[in-house]
């Protein structure tokens, strides 16, 4: 067995690991970067990049089918070459991973180890036949799809988000179990590719962490495209039915019989096979590594970044974790997780951009609040594009005039939300937005108008 000593060890080459390796090596430290599977983590390989490439293909197919709405005529029906869609998706992902691997290979004093890392002690990890030691260890091990313990689930061939990326045939009928962000993106894209799609969700509404008006609007969008949605489903179970799979739920309901089943019911942190007990690293009851506001674990000299720490489940929060760690270690800048404003997007079409508090959270807080609302039917740019589903909503503290949160469900919502998010980071009052002059015609140009038309939240 080979024993080697480094200044730092980074376990996981997702969105936080490689940039941290870059900063540490630039500061003159030696780094062992360990990755057991694919460099780039979920985002590059099975998450953001490949799925959004497929969302783009699905949008192109949808727009082509609507060509007549824009006065454009096509000869013949719109077809979908799913193998070509997959090939395009694979190229986007492979190119990104290749660029990342080249960047890592060019880092002086950085050694990339391929294999599964496990702690031996608090400052030593084993990777295959190598024993690596460092005073500082950073965990960036990510997460994976949860598989629910439901009757019959082990008797069928099911898909999760990662195996969906390997699918090379278009499902005849895709049954999606779960009604949140990942499930809805897949549901819409495969419906647009031509599959029959059924969504089964145990909660009484979709994406339950969002406000009820957002959930209702997204349900309407999906149903208008021919997606069947079953809410409040209980007693979900699976069984083979010939070459297909029957998903039964809620007594009296007819089963959904599909060619493929996608399980999209949440994520589990990759912490159960790291030997964290050997290092003394504390985890919570869900398996997330317990960290403080600057991402230090319960063991001095060990930090945790990204999905494994439960502080965010997004590429941007993982990258921000790297920034927090690097700022504290190298820049004498005491950045912390609690500085971060919650923000994310749902990449259905139209997309949802979200930042800050929901209306539900504002109501629960008990504070006096103002609200501004505008449907996309009253947004010129949305009308011009023929994409008028959705709305914009801004929430403001009635006393301080602080912007509390915003939802933009509509064309460009994933981009327009940053107009509000940046003002929230600047701690600017809503009057700053109200007095801004935005470019016309644009979806975001109506945000100042909404800020001028606030009313008490009843």
pLDDT > 90? residue 3: no
Helices (H) and strands (E) counted in the chain, each on its own, are 14, 24
Q: Which of 413, 447, 422 is nearest to 345 (CA)?
A: 413
The per-residue pLDDT for range 153-176, each reduced to its tens digit, is 999 999 999 999 999 999 999 999
Q: Where are the domains of the chain?
A: 2-144+268-339, 153-265, 344-456
- 2-144+268-339 folds as FAD/NAD(P)-binding domain (3.50.50)
Cβ–Cβ under 8 Å, residues 397 and 314:
no
The per-residue pLDDT for range 314-328, each reduced to its tens digit, is 999 999 999 999 999
Would you say the CATH fold of 153-265 matches that of 2-144+268-339? yes
77: left (phi over 0), alpha (psi -120 to 50) or beta: beta
Residue that the structure tokens 């990777």 belong to:
127
Q: Which residues lie below 8 Å from residue 413, measured CB to CB, with a gap of 6+?
A: 345, 350, 351, 352, 353, 390, 392, 443
pLDDT > 90? residue 277: yes
pLDDT > 80? residue 38: yes
pLDDT > 80? residue 2: no
pLDDT at 58: 98
Cβ–Cβ under 8 Å, residues 110 and 31:
yes
Options 3.50.50.60, 3.30.2130.30, 1.25.50.10, 3.40.190.10; CATH for 153-265 is 3.50.50.60
This prediction has a pTM of 0.95
What span, in angstroms and rounded, lies between the C-alpha atoms of 429 and 187? 39
Cβ–Cβ under 8 Å, residues 207 and 264:
no
Residue tagged active-site, from 173, 230, 260, 440? 440
Beta strands in 165-243 (DSSP E): 173-177, 196-200, 228-230, 237-241
The per-residue pLDDT for range 192-213, each reduced to its tens digit, is 999 999 999 999 999 999 999 9
State what percent of residues in the chain have pLDDT above 70: 100
Beta strands in 104-158 (DSSP E): 110-114, 117-121, 124-127, 130-133, 136-139, 143-145
What span, in angstroms and rounded, lies between the C-alpha atoms of 223 and 218? 9
pLDDT at 116: 97
Q: Which of 209, 207, 206, 188 is nearest to 358 (CA)?
A: 209
pLDDT interval class at 147 (50, 70, 90): very high
Cβ–Cβ under 8 Å, residues 256 and 200:
yes
Give the chain's length: 458
Cβ–Cβ under 8 Å, residues 330 and 399:
no
Q: Which of 136-174 are b and which e, b meaning 16 or more Cβ less than 10 Å from the residue's Cβ?
A: bbbbbbbbbbeeeebeebeebebbbbeebbeeeebbebb
pLDDT > 90? residue 415: yes
pLDDT at 251: 80
* Helices (H), ranges, 123-198: 161-164, 181-193
What span, in angstroms and rounded, lies between the C-alpha atoms of 218 and 180? 11
pLDDT interval class at 385 (50, 70, 90): very high
Q: Which CATH class is domain 344-456?
A: alpha beta
pLDDT at 252: 83
10: left (phi over 0), alpha (psi -120 to 50) or beta: beta
Identify whether 440 is a catalytic site residue: yes
Residue 105: CB atoms within 10 A of its CB come to 9
pLDDT > 80? residue 418: yes
Cβ–Cβ under 8 Å, residues 132 and 119:
no
Long-range residue pairs from 97-100, CB within 8 A, at least 24 positions apart, any chain: 97/38, 97/39, 97/40, 97/44, 97/45, 100/13, 100/18, 100/39, 100/40, 100/44
On the 0-12 / 13-18 / 19+ scale of CB atoms within 10 A, 249 is buried
pLDDT at 264: 97
pLDDT interval class at 386 (50, 70, 90): very high
Q: Which of 67-78 are b and which e, b meaning 16 or more Cβ less than 10 Å from the residue's Cβ?
A: eeeeeeeeeeee
Sort strands 267-269 and 302-304 into parallel, antiparallel or unpaired: unpaired
């Amino acid at each position: 067995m080979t024993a080697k000593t480094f200044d730092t060890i980074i376990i996981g080459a997702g969105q936080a690991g490689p940039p941290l390796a870059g900063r540490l090596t630039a500061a003159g430290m030696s780094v062992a970067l360990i990755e057991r599977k694919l460099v780039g983590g979920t985002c590059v390989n099975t998450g953001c990049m490949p799925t959004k490439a497929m969302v783009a293909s699905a949008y192109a197919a949808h727009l082509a089918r609507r060509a007549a709405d824009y006065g454009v005529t096509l000869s013949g029906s719109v077809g979908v070459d799913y193998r070509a869609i997959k090939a395009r998706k694979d190229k986007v992902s492979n190119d990104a991973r290749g660029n990342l691997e080249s960047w890592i290979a060019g880092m002086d004093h950085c050694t990339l180890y391929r294999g599964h890392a496990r702690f031996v002690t608090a400052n030593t990890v084993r990777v295959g036949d190598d024993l690596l030691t460092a005073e500082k260890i950073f965990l960036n091990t990510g997460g994976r799809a949860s598989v629910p313990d439901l009757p019959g689930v082990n008797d069928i061939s099911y898909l999760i988000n990662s195996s969906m990326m390997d699918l090379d045939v278009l499902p005849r009928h895709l049954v999606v179990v779960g009604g949140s962000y990942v499930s809805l993106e897949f549901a819409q894209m495969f419906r647009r590719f031509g599959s029959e799609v059924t969504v089964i969700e145990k909660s009484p509404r979709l994406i339950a962490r969002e406000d009820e008006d957002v959930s209702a609007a997204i349900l309407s969008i999906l149903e208008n495209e021919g997606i069947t949605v079953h809410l409040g489903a209980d007693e979900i179970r699976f069984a083979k039915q010939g070459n297909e799979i029957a998903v039964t739920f809620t007594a009296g309901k007819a089963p959904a019989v599909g060619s493929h089943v996608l399980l999209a019911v949440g994520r589990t942190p990759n912490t159960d096979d790291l030997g964290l007990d050997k290092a003394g690293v504390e985890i919570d009851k869900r398996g997330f590594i317990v960290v403080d506001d600057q991402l230090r674990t319960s063991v001095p000299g060990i930090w945790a970044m990204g999905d494994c720490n439960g502080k965010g489940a997004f590429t941007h929060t993982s990258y921000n974790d790297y920034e927090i760690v690097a700022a504290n270690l190298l820049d004498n800048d005491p950045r912390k997780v609690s500085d971060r404003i919650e923000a994310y997007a749902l990449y259905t079409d139209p997309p949802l951009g979200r930042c800050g508090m929901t209306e539900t959270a504002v109501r629960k807080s008990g504070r006096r609040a103002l609200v501004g609302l505008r449907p996309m039917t009253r947004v010129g740019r949305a009308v011009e594009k023929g994409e008028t589903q959705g709305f914009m909503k801004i929430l403001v503290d009635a006393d301080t005039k602080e912007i509390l949160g915003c939802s933009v469900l509509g064309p460009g919502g994933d981009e327009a939300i940053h107009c509000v998010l940046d003002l929230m980071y600047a701690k600017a009052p809503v009057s700053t937005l109200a007095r801004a002059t935005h470019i016309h015609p644009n979806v975001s140009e109506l945000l100042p108008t909404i800020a001028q038309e606030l009313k008490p939240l009843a």
